A and B are shown apart, each in its own frame.
Chain A
């Protein structure tokens, strides 16, 4: 079945770095755009970044632009998020999500999430 599994979350100090991973299975990974979406504790959803199916186009939320970098390795069916210069406000559950079939700009499959805590 279609599955997304995130990993790489943890506790990091402000200013630190972390790399999240998303392992995909059960679908033709190379054919779909992919997203990262986050949710701060007790808050709503915030879209973070998108990468086109072939990696040729990337979009970021203003809140992470210049600090986060999204990437993918289609040969490994993996997506990544390199997070640098982390701030307390980056504390959240980070979800990996697959772009929709009719449009990549919806998220039709979600992982269970990985928790990032930025604290000294």
Chain B
């Protein structure tokens, strides 16, 4: 099973700041990585698939990069609605696995 490790666990930032979230895989997943956003009491929402492709309707301030074992989700300028938990997920191997999540909180 591929283990995804997300860091940091919590990111404390102010609106307007840049957020950089990391996801590291225990073995190469090529570019088969997705990012999701989850707000309290809500279902997750797909942001990025295949490492760098924004899902339909996702604002341009969200971008993804990386390949192999190291991936980054960047939010260029945090909006109030961006404070949430973010998860990465790999589709390179079965079983599909998620990272433990990074919480982006208001500083």
| Chain B CB within 8 A of A102 CB | yes
Q: Which residues of A contact B83 (CB under 8 A)?
A: none
Within 8 A of A (CB), among B66-107: 87, 89, 91, 94-101
In the complex, are the beta carbons of A106 and B46 less than 8 A apart? yes
Please report the C-alpha to C-alpha distance between residue A106 and residue B97 in the assembled complex, in whole angstroms. Answer: 11
- Closest residue of A by beta carbon distance from B6: A44
- Interface stretch (choices A70-78, A82-90, A110-118): A110-118
In the complex, are the beta carbons of B46 and A108 less than 8 A apart? yes
Within 8 A of B (CB), among A29-69: 35, 37, 44-47, 50, 59-62
> A-B pairs with the 9 shortest C-beta distances?
A105-B91, A110-B43, A47-B96, A45-B98, A108-B46, A106-B49, A106-B34, A44-B101, A61-B95
Binding site for A on B (CB under 8 A): 1, 32, 34, 36, 38, 42-46, 49-50, 53, 55-56, 87, 89, 91, 94-101
Within 8 A of B (CB), among A1-46: 35, 37, 44-46
Main secondary structure on chain B at its contact with chain A? loop
Q: How many residues of A contact B (CB 8 A)?
A: 23
In the complex, are the beta carbons of B96 and A105 less than 8 A apart? yes
Please report the C-alpha to C-alpha distance between residue A77 and residue B53 in the assembled complex, in whole angstroms. Answer: 29
**B99: contacting residue among A44, A95, A108, CB under 8 A:** A44
- Closest residue of B by beta carbon distance from A112: B43
Q: Which residues of A contact B98 (CB under 8 A)?
A: 44-47
